[in-house]
Amino acid sequence: MSIPFTLNGKPAAYEGSATDRLVDILRKDFKCPGVKVGCNEGECGACSIIMDGVLINACMVAAGRAYDTEIITIEGFRETEKFAVLDRCFAETGAVQCGFCTPGMILAAECILTKNPNPNEAEIRDGLSGNMCRCTGYNAIVHAVALAAKEGKGLW
């Protein structure tokens, strides 16, 4: 009767209600506090995760929708080589200020580059457009993604 899914490469199962919010489950039951709650209505992207290879908002997902899916959160992604490149580039441009949007931004950046290893500025901005940041004005983040495309050539 459980909901099986893969979390950061490992099998997982949720025994609770299929109507529970995935973001709450990830934070509480699966100890992924890097998935942040900013608005609980799909308007800020702080809870961004990767589900079956695409960026989604974990607050917009009921647990049952995770049935049979593969989920990656910042807790899993931070162990990858691609993360290491993004980490360096975000540091270089000063793309992290308060840090609340950052895990979501990193995963959004990963999805932009997976889809298009050489994005132009407009494509980067579109790719980040669901991830709200109130601190940076976005310049540094956009710059970081462009830099990662260059420095991580071949990875994506």
Partner 1 sequence: MAEISGSVVKVDHGPKVRGEARFVADYPMEGILYGKTLRSDRARAKIQAINVPELPMGYVVADARDVPGKNGVLIIGDDTPVFAAETVEFVGDPIAMVAGPDEAEVERILREIEVEYEDLEPVLDMRKSEKVFYEYGYEKGEVDKAFAEADKVYEEILQTGHQEHGYLETQGITVVPLAGGKVKVHGSIQCPYYVRKALVLALGIEPGDIQVIQDVTGGGFGGKEDYPSMIGARVAVTALKAGKPVRVVYDRREDMATTSKRHPTYSVYKAAVKDGKVTAMDIDLLYNAGAYTTISMVVLQRGTICSNGVYNIPHMRAHGRSVKTNSVPNGAFRGFGAPQVFFAVEMFMAHIAKDLGVDPVAFKEAHFVKKGDKTSTNGIFHHGVPLPQMNEKLLTASDYWAKREAYASQPKGRYQRGIGMSYSFHGGGFTGTGERDIIKAVAALQKYPDGKVEILTSGTEMGQGLFTTFAKIVAKELDCPIDQIIVKLPDTDRVPDSGPTVASRSIMVVGELLRRAAAKIKAEWKDGEAQRVEERFQQPEWQIPFNYDTFQGDAYPTFSWGAHCVEIEVDTYTGEQKVIGAWACYDVGTPIDTTVVIGQMEGGFLQGIGYAHMEQMNYDKKGRIRSNSYSDYTMPTAADVPKMEMHLCVEEYPEGPFGAKGAGELPLVGVPGAYVNALEQAIDKDFCHIPVTMEDTLTHWREGGQA
Partner 2 sequence: MVNGYAPQTLREALEIKRKEQVSPYGGGTDLMVDHHRTGTYLFLHRIAEMQEIKQDDNYLRLGAGCTFTEVQEHALTPPILKEAISRIAAPAIRNLGTIGGNIGNGSAKADSVLVFFALDAKLRLMDADGERIVPIHAFYKGRKALDLALDELIVEILLPRVIPTRYVYHKIGARAALAISRLSFAGLWNVEGGKITACSTAFGAIDQVVVRIPEVDKILIGTPVAELDSVKERYLAAAGEAINPIDGRISAHYRKTVCLNLLDDFVETMKKA
Neighbours of 75 (CB within 10 A): 18
- Residues in 99-118 that interact with partner 1 by CB under 8 A: 99-103, 106
Give Cβ neighbours of residue 13 (< 8 Å, ≥ 6 apart).
2, 3, 4, 5
* Identified binder of partner 2 from the candidate list 10, 11, 31, 41, rule CB under 8 A: 41
* Contact between 139 and partner 1 per CB under 8 A: yes
> CA 71 to CA 10: how far, in whole Å?
9
Kindly indicate which of the ranges 1-9, 10-18, 63-71, 86-94 contains the residues binding partner 1, using the contact rule CB under 8 A. Answer: 86-94
Contact 19, 64 (CB under 8 A): yes
* Residue 140 near which of partner 2, partner 1, none (CB within 5-8 Å, type-dependent): partner 1
Kindly indicate which of the ranges 3-11, 61-69, 72-80, 148-156 contains the residues binding partner 1, using the contact rule CB under 8 A. Answer: 72-80
